[in-house]
Amino acid sequence: MTVAGISLVLILGVINLLLVLFQVGTGKRWLKVNFAWHRRLGVALLLTALLHAGLAYLSR
Ligand code: HEM
């Protein structure tokens, strides 16, 4: 599955990488962001990681 010719699995992988960096940055309080965003985006990361893995498995 592709979006504008780019694999959706690849797009989700990059989003996951950015979300992991955000989670560690806010979890360690290096990034000064309202902590509610750490909790919200932690759940979003769970969903995008599951989608990334599921689509990668189906397209293998
Ligand atoms: C719904 C999901 C999540 C919730 C509710 C949550 C909640 C928390 C809480 C309450 C803390 C302690 C903050 C403090 O008092 O200093 C924390 C720390 C932290 N979290 Fe999360 N978190 C979530 C997801 C994640 C994810 C997905 C990651 C990484 C991918 C992550 C990485 C960290 C790190 C690195 C710390 C600092 C730990 C330390 O220095 O001991 N969190 N988180």
Q: What is the pLDDT of residue 18?
A: 98
What are residue 31's phi and psi, to 5 degrees? -95, 125
Domain count along the chain:
1
- Atom 24 of ligand 1, nearest CA residue: 42
Dihedral sign from CA coordinates of 37, 39, 44, 46: positive
Q: Give tens-digit pLDDT for 11-48.
A: 999 999 999 999 999 999 999 999 999 999 999 999 99
Q: Which domain holds residue 16?
A: 2-58
pLDDT at 60: 86
Which pTM value belongs to this model?
0.91
**Which ligand 1 atom is nearest residue 43's CA?**
1
Q: What is the pLDDT of residue 1?
A: 84
